[in-house]
Amino acid sequence: MDKSRESGGKRAVQGLLLYFAVGAGWVLGINHLLAGLATNSVEGARYHILADSLYLLVTGGMAWWLLQRSDHARARAFRRTALILRHAPAGIVRADSNGQILWANERMCELTGMSLEELRQHQFRNVVQPADNSWAERQRARLLAGEIDHYRGERQCRRPDTGVIVPVMCTVTLVPRAAREPAHLICVVQDISDSHAARAALERSEAGLHLALEGSGSGMWDWDLRTHQGTVSPSLERLLRYQGADFLHDFCLRTRLHPEERKRVLAAVRLAVATGDPFHQSLRLRCFDGQERWFMARGQRHLDAAGQPERFSGILTDLTHSYMAEERQRLAATVVDNTLEGVVVTDAQSRILSVNAAFTRVLGYTEDELLGKTPRQFKSGRHDQDFYRTMWATMHRTGHWQGEIWNRRKNGEIFPEHMSLSAVRDDAGAITHYVCIFSDISEAKAQQERLEYLAHRDALTGLSNRVWFGQQLEGAVAQAQTRGEHLAVLLINLDRFKDVNDSYGHAVGDEVLQHLARQVRSALRPGDLLGRLAGDELAVVARNLRHADGAAAVARQLLAAVAEPWHSPQGLEVVVGASVGICLYPEHADSAELLLQGAHAAVYGAKARGRGALCFFAEEMTIAARERLELESRLRQALAQEQLELHYQPQADIVTGRILGAEALLRWNDPQEGAISPARFIPVAESSGLIAPLGEWVLRQVCQQGRRWLDAGLPAVTLAVNVSPRQFQLTDLVASTRAVLAETGFPASHLELEITESALAERFEEVLKVLEGLQGLGLHLAVDDFGTGYSSLAHLKRFPIDVLKIDQSFIRDIPHHSDDMAISAAIIAMGHSMTLKVLAEGVETEDQLAFLVERGCDSYQGYLLSRPLPADEFALLLQQQAQTVAPNAEMAAVG
C-alpha cells in the first residue's frame, strides 16, 4: 500500500512538471509566432488573448479527460478490491488498535456464523480466541510499538450457532495512521481445518506404520550417507537384544557380522549405495546378548534433489525361527531319504508310480508288485466309506491330509500308521501327482500305552504311583462329598524293610515287595484303592465306611495280609511287619492332601507304639510334627551360630574317688526358650539327619578342649563322647574320628566313644567292622545304658569293648529294690568275667555307692560325685585334685 501511494505521488509530481514544461513551451512558441504575424500592438494583443483562450481550452479539456479517467480507474480498483475481499478464501477483519471489530468480509461472517453487525459488537480476540491470551497481547503491543510489522499464530474460532470449533491461522498487520484515518489493524483469518485433518491423518498413518512395523517383528534403520548419522526403530534394538542408551554409538556392522559373511554383506552394501540396486541379504549378526542369529536385511538407496546419494534405509527381519524350521525340514528330508518312512508317489488317478525301500519293507510288497496299482489294495477294512470321503474331501479342499490310518500288510496283518497325503499341482493348478508319506506307528502306540501305564503305575508292583493315587484320592473325596460317604486313608509303612534289602539283596527285596502288593490287593474290598507312595510305603483308600471301627477292621486285615511270609524257591522265608496310620474323612480332614498328611502323622504314632500297630490321626500329631520341624530349624541355626556348649560330668575311681575322666554332655541354651533338654532335641537331630554334623561338632569340640587342658598341664583324663546309632548310618565314623584326632592333636588313648546297646543289636556285621576300625585308632569303646537293650551276649563278646556302663535306671532304686541290685551285681560280675571295666551311672546316694564298692564296681558318675560342669569349672576341679594329690605324694615319700 505504501509503495502504491509513493508511486502515485511520483506520477503527480511528474504530471505537474510536464504541465509547466508544456505551458512554458506554449508561451514561448506562441509569443515567437505572434511576433511574426501581428502588425501592430492591438492585433498582437488580440492574438495573445485568442492563444491564451485556446491554451486554457485545450489544457482544461485534457484535465477533465484525465480526471474522468482517474475516477474510472479508482472505481474499477474499488470494485476489484471489493470482489477480492468478498470472495477471498480467508476471513478479513478491520479492527481498531484495541481490537474492536470495525468491518469484516463475508468469509469471516461464514467462519464465525455471525453477521457483520453482530461481529461489530465483539472484540477480535473474543471471536478468534488465541491459545495464549498473554502472548497475543504482548504481540499486539509490540505491533503497535513498531517493533514488528505483523504477527501470526494458530487460534480457534467457535461458531455460536453450532458450537463447532474451527482451527484457524491468524495474521495481524498494523495500518498506520494517515490523514484523517486513525491507525487500525487488519486481521487475516485462514481456515486450517484441512491442514489439521491432514496432519492428524499423517499422524495416524505414521502410528499405523509404526504399529505395523512393530507387529511384523522387523526393525527399521535410516542412515544419512553424508553426515554418517542415522536412526533406528526400537524394534530393531529389541531384535538385536540391545539394552543400552546409544545404539548407534555401540553398534558396528563390521564387527557384528559373522566372519564368513562379512566380506559378502559389506560388498553388497557398497554396491547398493553406488548403483541404487535393492539391497537384499541374509546374514548372521552377533546380538548384544552374545548369541548369533540369522536375519534378512532389505534396503534401498535414496537420492537428493540433485540426484546424489543421500540416505540408505531399510528393514531387518529375524530369520532365526525360519532357519530353524528350514533346518527341521532338511532333517525331515534326510530322514525320508534314509528310508525311515515309507513314501509312495501316484499319478492323478492314484496309480502307483514309485515307492521307496521303507515302503516295501513295512508292507512286504516289492515295487514291481505295486507299480500301476492303487493303494486301495492296502485297505484294512477298519474304516468305513465316510472316513475315506471325509479324507478326500479335505484333500481336495486343502491339498493336504494327514492323520492316523490302519492299513494291511501283504501277510494280512493290520497295523496303524501315521500318513501324510499331499497333492502336487502344475502351474495351471491342476493336480498331477499325489505324494504319500507314512510311518509304522505300531511300536509307538505300544510305547505310548507303556508310557501311559508307567505315568500312572509303579513299575515294580503295578500299583498306582504317588501322582495317580493322589488323583484317584481326589476323585474319591469329591465323590464322597457329593454322596455324603465316609472314607479312610490307611498308610502302610513296612517295618525295617531296609534290613531285607541289606540282608538278602535288592532282587529279593523287590520280590518281597511284589508279594506284599499282591497280599494287600487281595485283602481289599471292592471299590477300595491301593497305591505305592514310596519304597516302603503303601496307601489304601477304604470307601463306603460307616464308622471308625470299619477303618480299624480294614487296617487289621491289611496287617494280617502283610504278615504272610514270602518263600523263595530255595526255601528262604521272609516276614515283614508293618505299621498303619489311619486318617478319616470327614472327621479328620476334608481334602486329599490333608488326608495323606494326617495318615503320615498317624503312621509315626503307630510306630511309636511298637511294630505291627495301627493308629488313628489326631490333631496333636500335626502339632507335634510342626513343633519338631520348628525345633529342627532352630537347632540348625544354633549349630551354625554356636549356641551349643558342652558340659563335663566327672567319672571317678569308686575306691579312691580320684577323677579318671568325664562324659561330655551337650547343652543348648536357646535365646527364645532358654535351656532345652537333650531328650527333646537329640531325637529331632536323629530323625532329621542333623545328628551327623552335630556329632562331628561335639567330637571336635571335646578333642580341642582336651588338647587345651593337656597343654595347660592339667592331669590327663579320659573324655567320653556319646555316639548315636544314626551316626553309623549317616557318616563314615572311623574316617571322621581319624580326621578330628589328626586335626586337634588329641591323643586317641584319652578318647572314649560310648555306643548304646541298641546300636550293637542292629546290623551286627556292619557295627563290628566300624568298632574294629575305631579300636585300630587306639581309642576306648564303651557300651552305654547296658541292660536296657536286647543285645546278644554271644555278639557282645565279639565286640572290642573296654567298658560297660550300668544304666542309671538300675541304680536309682538301690538299696530299696532287690531286682535292681541283683541286675547290677550280675552286670558287674559279667563285665569282670569278660575282663571289662564297669562304670555305674546316676549314683546319687552314699548307700548306692557303698553297694557298688561292695560288689567291686570299678568307677562311677552321678550327682553324688558332681553334676555336669562347664569346661572352666571342670578344669578347676582337675586343678584342685592335682594340688591335693601332690602333697600326699610328698608325705608318702617322706614316710
Domain assignment present for residue 833? The answer is: no
Boundary-marking domain end, from 617, 648, 671? 617
On the question of pLDDT at 815 being above 50, the answer is yes
Quick one: pLDDT at residue 215? Answer: 58
For 204-233, how does the pLDDT look when each residue is reduced to its tens digit (9 = 90+)? 766 666 666 665 668 888 888 888 888 888
268 within a domain of the structure (yes/no) = yes
pLDDT in tens, 742-760: 999 999 999 999 988 777 7
pLDDT, residue 893, reads 42
Extract the C-alpha cell encoding 788: 536296657
76: left (phi over 0), alpha (psi -120 to 50) or beta: alpha
Whether the CB-CB separation of 473 and 466 falls below 8 Å is answered with no
Structure confidence at residue 888 as a pLDDT band (50, 70, 90): low
Alpha carbon distance 150, 172 (integer Å)? 5
291 with 359, same domain? Answer: no
d(CA 353, CA 592): 61
Q: In this model, does residue 11 exceed pLDDT 70?
A: no
Q: What is the DSSP letter of 677?
A: -
Residue 218: inside a domain: yes
User: Is 429 buried (19+), middle (13-18) or exposed (0-12) by CB count in 10 A?
Assistant: exposed
> What CATH number does the domain containing 729 carry?
3.20.20.450
Element (H, E) at 550: helix 548-562
Tell me, yes or no, whether 783 and 674 share the same domain. yes
- In this structure, the answer to whether residues 527 and 649 fall within a common structural domain is no
Residue 622 pLDDT exceeds 60: no
| 787 and 642 together in one domain | yes
Which DSSP helix (H) or strand (E) runs through 165? strand 165-175
The pLDDT assigned to 539 comes to 92
pLDDT tens for 150-167 read 888 888 888 877 778 889
Q: What is the pLDDT of residues 111-146, one digit of tens each?
A: 888 888 888 888 888 888 898 888 888 888 898 888
Average pLDDT, the chain: 83
Is residue 653 very low, low, confident or very high in pLDDT (cuts 50, 70, 90)?
very high
The reply to whether 94 and 208 lie within a common domain is no
- Model pLDDT, residue 32: 66
CATH number for the domain harbouring residue 385: 3.30.450.20
Boundary residue ending a domain (58, 84, 110): 84
Q: Decide if 406 contacts 380 (C-beta within 8 A).
A: yes
Q: What CATH number does the domain containing 601 carry? A: 3.30.70.270
Cα angle 447, 448, 453; round to 5: 95
Query: Which of 751, 743, 679 lies closest to 718, judged by CA?
Result: 751
Q: Is the dihedral of CA 711, 714, 720, 721 positive or negative?
A: negative
> Does 705 lie in the same domain as 786?
yes
pTM exceeds 0.85, yes or no: no
**Has residue 839 been placed in a domain?**
no
In a domain, 240, yes or no: yes
Please state, in angstroms and rounded to a whole number, the distance separating the CA atoms of residues 341 and 358.
6
> 42: Cβ–Cβ under 8 A, 6 or more apart, which residues?
none
Whole-angstrom Cα Rg for the chain: 57
Q: Which residue, among 757, 732, 722, 724, has the nearest Cα to 646 in the 3D structure?
A: 722
Q: Which of 38, 62, 84 is the last residue of a domain?
A: 84
Mean pLDDT of 797-806: 86
The crossing angle, in degrees rounded to 10, of helices 506-523 and 497-504 is 140
Residue 270's Cβ-count burial label (10 Å; 0-12, 13-18, 19+) is exposed
**What grid cell was written down for 394?**
479335505
Give the pLDDT confidence score for residue 490 in this predicted structure. 92
| CA distances to 347, 377, 434, 810 from 372, in Å | 9, 12, 14, 101
469 is a domain residue: no
514 and 605 part of one domain? yes
Q: With CA atoms as reference, report the closest residue to 618 among 582, 664, 642.
A: 582
| Residue 222 parent element (H or E) | strand 218-224
* Bridge partner list, 567: 573
pLDDT in tens, 264-293: 999 999 999 999 899 999 889 999 999 989
What percent of the chain is predicted at pLDDT more than 70?
87
Degrees, nearest 5: CA angle 400-403-409: 110
pLDDT at residue number 1? 46
Q: Nearest Cα to 827, choosing from 842, 812, 816, 839?
A: 839
| DSSP 8-state code for residue 127 | H
pLDDT tens sequence across 442-489: 887 878 777 777 778 888 888 888 889 999 999 999 999 998 888 999
Question: Domain check: are 682 and 794 in the same one?
Answer: yes
576-604 pLDDT, tens digit per residue, is 889 899 999 988 888 989 999 888 888 88
Domains held by the chain: number: 6
DSSP labels, 301-370: EEE-TTS-EEEEEEEEEE-HHHHHHHHHHHHHHHHHHTTSSEEEEEETT--EEEE-HHHHHHH---HHHH
| 643 inside domain | yes
Q: In what order do the strands lie in the sheet with 230-232?
A: 230-232, 218-224, 309-318, 292-303, 279-286
What is the band of 891 on the pLDDT scale with cuts at 50, 70, 90? very low
Q: Residue 891: which H helix or E strand, with range?
A: helix 871-894
Is the predicted pLDDT of residue 7 greater than 70, yes or no?
no
Instruction: Tell me, yes or no, whether 565 and 693 share the same domain.
Output: no
pLDDT digits (tens, 9 = 90+) for 373-427: 888 888 888 888 899 899 999 988 888 999 889 998 889 888 898 888 998 988 8
348 and 215 housed in the same domain: no
pLDDT tens per residue across span 324-348: 777 776 775 566 566 678 888 899 8
Q: Is the same domain home to 246 and 180?
A: no
CA atoms within a 13 Å half-sphere pointing along the CA-CB vector of 402:
8
Instruction: Evaluate whether residue 408 is within a structural domain.
Output: yes
Task: Mark whether 126 and 262 lie in a shared domain.
Answer: no
Interval 19-66: pLDDT, tens: 667 667 766 676 666 666 666 667 767 767 776 677 777 777 776 776
Across the range 8-28, mean pLDDT stands at: 65
Grid coordinates of 287: 546380538
Q: Give per-residue pLDDT as tens, 690-724.
A: 888 989 999 999 999 999 999 999 999 999 999 98
From the list 237, 221, 230, the residue with the least C-alpha distance to 289 is 237
Q: Residue 738 belongs to what domain range? A: 629-801+865-886
